[in-house]
Amino acid sequence: MFVLCGLGNPGSRYCLTRHNAGFMVLDRIALRSGRRFRRGLSQGKTCLVDLDGQELLLVKPTTFMNRSGRAVRELLERFPVQLSDLLIVYDEVALPLGKIRLRSSGSAGGHKGMKSILEILNSRDISRLRIGVAGEEDPIDLADYVLSNFHRQEMVALDEVLDRAIEAIEDYFRDGTEKTMARFN
C-alpha cells in the first residue's frame, strides 16, 4: 500500500486557502474515486482509493499545519508503511501558481508543516510534491498570505495545477521519482 499525505488546516475557514493546496489535491482524488474521508486516525482523516491500479491511502492531518508530523508519526505507527511508500503533498510559496515540483528528499524550505514531519521522523529522505501557490505580487506578511483564499482570477490556474498534481502522483506511484521528476519538474 502507498500513502499520500496532504497538508493543510482542518475546518471550513481554511478550505480554500493557499495553505490547503495539499488537502485540495486529496479531496479531488477522493471525489473522483467516489470515496469519502473518515476519522481513521486520532490525528487525521483517511480515505482508501484505487489510483491507477494502486491501493492508495489518503491522509489529511487534523493537527493544523505546524503539527503535521504528529499525524504522520501516528500513521506510520498504525500502518506498516515504509518511508519510500509515502509521498507528502503541500503548498509552496516559492513556486508560482501552476507549477509543481517533486523531490525525493531535502529540507523543509521554510514550510512549517514539512518541518514538523522531518523533525518527528528524523529524516530528510521523505518524498514530497510541492504545489506552487504564489501569486503575482510578493506577500507582505507570509502567514497572512498562505492563510488567504485564492483570488477569483487564480481559480482556473488552481484547477489546472490540481489536475496536473494528480497526474504526477499517478506517475510517481507507478514509475518512481526520477521518471516523474523528468516529466513534471
End-to-end CA distance of the chain: 25
**What is the strand order of the sheet 38-41 is part of?**
38-41, 44-51, 54-61, 2-6, 86-96, 127-134, 100-103
> In the chain, where do the E strands start and end?
2-6, 38-41, 44-51, 54-61, 86-96, 100-103, 127-134
Catalytic site residues? Answer: 19
